[in-house]
Amino acid sequence: MSGIGSAVRASRIGRVLLRYRLDELLEDTAARRWLGLMRPFVPRASADIAAQPRGARLRLALQELGPIFVKFGQILSTRRDLVPPDIADELAQLQDQVKPFDGEQARVIVEQALDRRIDEAFAGFDTVPLASASIAQVHAATLHDGRKVVVKVLRPGVEKQIDADIGLLKSMAAVVERTHPNADKIRPREVVAEIETTLAAELDLQREGANASVMRRLWKDSPDLYVPEIFWDYTAERVLTMERVSGIPSDDIAALDAAGIDRKALAAKGVRVFYTQVFRDNFFHADAHAGNIWVDPQRRQDPRFVVLDYGIMGQLSAQDQYYLAENFMAIFNKDYRRIAELHVEAGWMPATVRIDELEAAARAVCEPYFTRPLSEISLAEVLVKLFRTAQRYELTLQPQLILLQKTLLNIEGVGRQLDPQLDIWAVARPVLERILRQRYSPRRLLREFGQRLPAIVTRTPDMPGLVHAWLQQQVEGRHELSMRSKDLEELAQTMKGMQRRTVAAILGAALLIVAAVLYGLDAGGPQWWGVPASSWIAGVGGVWALLAAWPRR
């Protein structure tokens, strides 16, 4: 996206915010002052909009701005401890009540994606959508064998809209990178790249189907989580067909109570399922808002979640998995020294940081929480505050952890809605302890060693020769140290450029001197095309010297 395109998009965002009178929510901020400059050029809000409560105006504005902003609203709706209830209630409607697109258009998209007529693929296809979200909408259908399914269809033009928003985010990241004093720690370009990768995955429905298939296999026959079946013969990049399931949205407390669901048991299961996905499977559902998390109405005393929408899944490196799990255990045990050591060991912070100072900072963050009942403590909030505090000690923001933090906030939000007295610490701790015992048990380590043994055996015959070659280099003084560094590479390129310019400048100056000598010796010397040779040489020398001095990028 060009700079002009980004400016146009930013201007449109500003106009939408003003049209829905959302500048009122930005009191005493630079953003409100910036919006104030635009106000004379934006029509006044209509009477209908002016009459709407602030939550409704925010919801409508986010819908108008597109998928990225709708996603932001969905996340906010689950954080009732951060967002006023009136706004949270309105934003909750963004889960599956975004304005739908025409059903006939959806039918055409399905036919093009599956390369067959709709009546050949399905015995019945309802053009009125069951639900409509920011990136796709869902239609009920029936297979020719009578099985009930739902067909998820990407919105037309959604890729172009997301590309435009990502372009704007990249432009903003570039500005932050140039102007923010801690840009090297925030790493805005990498953060935007992570968002771009996540959304790209969500736009590929065949990939979403594969995610759901893996999750279904991992949780097969589980009493805690049900994953619908994917029908691959009716699935493509822009169309996904899956088993139709029923359930109660996890935030519909009245409906859950009417169905006799044990909400306390359900909330505890939600926490256990999340930590199991992260630390046992390393494959977690990362779009866990209430619109995607339903409850099986048939299971009252032993409730089970029914999870939808597998477009955004999270995975961590083995190293990040280990250090996160250890961080959680250190928080549970109030071991602030261990928290400080883990941040450095993980490479999130430079080794030059003083451990005792970081330990004191971690203690200052965590201790105030432990004066409260554990049921009132948010583990996600503690983790986020720890990261914020660590940023003062040169914490490097890890983009791969952003998705996990967001999901942890969502899960806690859903859990606290189901059971306001949920003791997340008491539920999460035994899960983590059990998983860590299993993961680093002697049996598990022996099994992993056995899996890697063929690779070790394959390389073993080469080792004596490699060791001999290295020792011979040391004895003969032929050992070379090879270093790779972006800064050193840029410096080398700069030096090469300076050398080239210096040589060119010397040559240009030499040509000027030759021209001067010729002119001085014989003003009537040779002429080329009616112009003295000395003038030609002087002109070439001058241009050459000018080009040599001109800075190159």
Question: Could you identify the residue written with the tokens 């430079």?
Answer: 350
Q: Is 248 helix (H, G, I), strand (E, B) or coil?
A: strand
Asked if pLDDT for residue 142 goes beyond 80, the answer is yes
Is 58 in the same domain as 83?
yes
Q: Which two tokens stand for residue 479?
A: 């050992």
| Residues with active-site annotation | 287
Q: What is the pLDDT of residue 115?
A: 95
7-55: per-residue pLDDT in tens?
666 677 777 777 777 766 666 555 566 666 666 666 666 777 777 888 8
Is 30 in the same domain as 128?
no
45-90: per-residue pLDDT in tens?
677 777 788 888 888 888 888 777 776 676 666 555 456 778 877 8
Asked if pLDDT for residue 414 goes beyond 70, the answer is yes
Asked if pLDDT for residue 548 goes beyond 80, the answer is no
Residue 488 lies in a domain: no
Q: How far apart are CA 94 and CA 162, in angstroms?
A: 17
- Looking at 268, 285, 313, the residue that finishes a domain is 313
Is 280 in the same domain as 142?
yes
Is 504 in the same domain as 427?
no
Mean pLDDT of the chain: 77
Residue 467 lies in a domain: no
- Please check whether residue 80 is in contact with residue 91, taking contact to mean a CB–CB distance below 8 angstroms: no
Please choose, from the candidates 139, 135, 10, the residue with its C-alpha nearest in 3D space to the C-alpha of residue 70.
135
- Please check whether residue 74 is in contact with residue 91, taking contact to mean a CB–CB distance below 8 angstroms: yes
Residue 449 lies in a domain: no
pLDDT confidence of 545, banded at 50, 70, 90? very low
Asked if pLDDT for residue 405 goes beyond 80, the answer is no
Q: Which helix (H) or strand (E) holds 308?
A: none
Number of domains in the chain: 5
pLDDT confidence of 546, banded at 50, 70, 90? very low
469-500: per-residue pLDDT in tens?
777 777 777 666 555 555 556 656 666 655 55
- DSSP letters for 364-375: HHHGGGGGS-GG
End-to-end CA distance of the chain: 22
Residue spans of alpha helices (H) in 292-398 = 318-332, 336-345, 355-366, 379-391
Is 367 in the same domain as 420?
yes
Q: What is the pLDDT of residue 549?
A: 46
Residue 462 lies in a domain: no
- Looking at 94, 118, 148, the residue that finishes a domain is 94
More confident residue, 74 or 159: 159
Question: Could you identify the residue written with the tokens 């049921």?
Answer: 375
More confident residue, 545 or 211: 211
Q: Is 314 helix (H, G, I), strand (E, B) or coil?
A: strand
Is 169 in the same domain as 27?
no
Is 188 in the same domain as 231?
no
More confident residue, 538 or 460: 460
Q: How far apart are CA 534 and CA 319, in angstroms?
A: 70
More confident residue, 438 or 115: 115
Is 149 in the same domain as 252?
yes
Is 11 in the same domain as 90?
yes
Can you give the residue range of the structural domain that contains 178? 160-199
Residue 69 lies in a domain: yes
Which residues, listed in sequence order, are joined to residue 132 by a DSSP beta bridge? 97, 137
- Please check whether residue 102 is in contact with residue 153, taking contact to mean a CB–CB distance below 8 angstroms: no
Q: What is the pLDDT of residue 479?
A: 62
Asked if pLDDT for residue 210 goes beyond 50, the answer is yes
Worst-scoring range by mean pLDDT, 72-76, 249-253, 437-441, 460-464? 72-76
- Looking at 147, 172, 199, the residue that finishes a domain is 199
Is 418 in the same domain as 504?
no
Amino acid at 4: I
Q: What is the pLDDT of residue 167?
A: 80
Residue 484 lies in a domain: no
Q: What is the mean pLDDT of residues 458-479?
A: 74
Among the ranges 16-25, 294-303, 322-331, 399-408, which has the highest mean pLDDT value? 294-303
Residue 455 lies in a domain: no
Is 130 in the same domain as 240?
yes
182-206: per-residue pLDDT in tens?
666 656 777 677 667 777 878 899 9
pLDDT confidence of 395, banded at 50, 70, 90? low
Q: What is the mean pLDDT of residues 400-406?
A: 70
Residue 290 lies in a domain: yes
With the CA atoms of 245, 261, 305 and 321 taken in that order, what torsion angle do they form, in degrees rounded to the nearest 10? Answer: 170
Q: How far apart are CA 40 and CA 7, in angstroms?
A: 18
Chain-centroid distance of CA 248 in Å reads 28
Asked if pLDDT for residue 410 goes beyond 50, the answer is yes
Is 234 in the same domain as 254?
yes
93-135: per-residue pLDDT in tens?
775 556 789 999 999 999 999 999 999 999 999 999 998 877 8
More confident residue, 495 or 506: 495
312-367: per-residue pLDDT in tens?
888 888 888 888 888 888 888 889 899 889 888 887 777 788 888 888 988 888 88
